A and B are shown apart, each in its own frame.
Chain A
């Protein structure tokens, strides 16, 4: 199966500043691909290059085998940028109509209005919209073209929790129907439920790439907690705390820690063992890198 996006040797300089340097990555069809990295890491530049908004100095990008500038690629993509505004004297319905008419088989207007909570705004001019209202319309537009890839740059900024939840539900529906998502975000907790692959970019290069499970495993950290009267003596663990009868432990060798706990003779109950969350894993990886740097 042809990849949704394939990038090879991508390089982009702004004067002497190298925004993206020899970047390679591949996004499969149906992936929920998450681009992470600190501000200025090159995420936005990569996104702009994939959207055909800027030209690369070297390397190539293909969306389903087509250049991002081609009509075929544009027909197959939708996107939401970090900042949004609209023609101020058009209503929500008119803006949706204007965008939809560019695409060969757009999504139904009613579906978009309903799923992005635009019912009350449908006939209002977009000029006076709040940040959250603009965001909802921008997200609806990203999906309006019924593209096979949707690029989302910090999609949930400015949304209330209800709209946020609804949006992620809609996104997972879109994935189930075979769509591909490329998302940049700082809210790792939100993306964890839908992300299939993670790519950590820093200084224009890929620092870490893999499926969510791989990245969690790569750290190998286990989070253990249980209820007990007194904390057991365990070694070596990365972190431990004891408060109100609840003992929390972070360890790099879960099996060994559990063995020690059983042999320690401490009476425990309600034992829980889990992998590090994505956010914890990424935080760990980036802080290791920072220390090394």
Chain B
């Protein structure tokens, strides 16, 4: 137990000492909300808030796993760490728990900002439901991040992550409502995992039933991304530790 606590604490510390990581991931969602979501009121404000919460939580899941795996797997430290007794569990726990902590922080920052810059109507229970849903819809993106980490290099990971996630966030309607998307993009939107993540949290803050279709899509994407991640992991194991 002490081992897990130390590993998690030190991993958090090293992330906090890296503003290049946490400034964009924690503050961009808030900044984007201020730019695109401020001033709305009523249900529209709830939807905007939910969209940017999901945008922030997914970006943590995707970037943190993707970029850290890409960097660590090339390092001598990773090789050394494998020789320590019982190193796998604490290592995975420190990744997961710090991602969770950062995700909840960025979500909270968006929610607080939303209450300052717009007039949402949702209550406390809906906010909790929104947070839980945001973490769940981030699961496929965690797998996508892991796949990215294994299929890119330390140098290219951030650039490729941006190339994947920014268009997905835009086309998935996380930055603006679907009716404001250009028609061509609105067509594509229904095939993106981000759009289905958004549909789920919109249903929650709108008090509607969560659409089964979107859940099915996200499960499908999870399977595809997990498979990609698995093959990437296998490839890396073969190359380095066969």
Q: Residues of A at under 8 Å CB distance from B?
A: 14, 51-55, 71, 74-75, 77, 79, 81, 83-90, 94, 97-99, 101-103, 125, 138, 141, 145
Known A-B contacts A89-B13, A103-B85; A98 and B76 likewise in contact (beta carbons under 8 Å): no
Most-contacted residue by chain B among A14, A75, A87, A99 (CB, 10 A): A87
**A132, chain B: closest CB distance, angstroms:** 16
Given A53-B79, A85-B77: A102 and B13 interface contact (C-beta under 8 Å): no
Q: Is the CB of A81 within 8 A of B13?
A: no
User: Is there contact, CB below 8 Å, between B18 and A89?
Assistant: yes
- Closest-by-CB residue of A relative to B242 is A54
Q: Which of A14, A55, A98 contacts B10 (CB 8 A)?
A: A98
CB pairs A–B below 8 angstroms (29 shown): A51-B83, A54-B242, A55-B242, A71-B85, A71-B86, A75-B85, A79-B80, A79-B83, A81-B79, A84-B77, A84-B80, A85-B77, A88-B14, A89-B13, A89-B14, A89-B15, A89-B17, A90-B10, A94-B10, A94-B13, A98-B10, A99-B84, A101-B3, A102-B86, A102-B87, A102-B90, A138-B80, A141-B80, A145-B84
Q: How large is the interface on B (under 10, 10 to 19, 20 to 34, 35 or more residues)?
A: 20 to 34
From A87, which residue of chain B is reached at the shortest CB distance? B14
Minimum CB–CB distance from A153 to chain B (whole Å) comes to 11
- Judged by DSSP, the binding face of B is helix
Contact with A along B191-233 (1 / 0, CB 8 A): 0000000000000000000000000000000000000000000
Kindly list chain B residues whose C-beta atoms are within 8 Å of the C-beta of A81. 76, 79-80
Task: Specify the chain A residue showing the minimal Cβ separation from B3.
Answer: A101
A52 to B83, Cβ gap below 8 A? yes
CB closest chain-A residue, reference B6: A101
Inter-chain CA distance A103–B84, complex, in Å, is 8
Q: How far is the CA of A17 from the CA of B178 in the complex (A)?
A: 58
Residues on the A chain within 8 Å of B85, using CB:
71, 74-75, 102-103, 145
A77 to chain B, nearest CB (A): 7
Chain B minimum-CB-distance residue to A70: B85
Q: Does B180 contact A (CB under 8 A)?
A: no
Nearest-CB distance from B140 to chain A (Å)? 28
- Cα(A145)–Cα(B3), bound, Å: 13
B76 touches which of A54, A84, A101, A103 (Cβ 8 Å): A84
On whether the beta carbons of B241 and A90 are closer than 8 Å, the reply is no
Q: Which residue of A lies closest to B90 (CB)?
A: A102
Contact yes or no, B242 A77, CB < 8 A: no
Decide yes or no whether B7 CB sits under 8 A from chain A: yes
Known interface pairs A83-B76, A85-B77; A74-B6 also in contact (CB < 8 Å): no
Output the least CB separation between A99 and chain B (Å): 7
| Supplied contacts A53-B241, A74-B85, A77-B83, 11 more A-B pairs, CB within 8 Å | A79-B80, A81-B80, A83-B76, A86-B77, A87-B14, A89-B15, A99-B84, A101-B2, A102-B84, A102-B86, A138-B80
Instruction: Give A18 Cβ to nearest chain B Cβ, in Å.
Output: 15
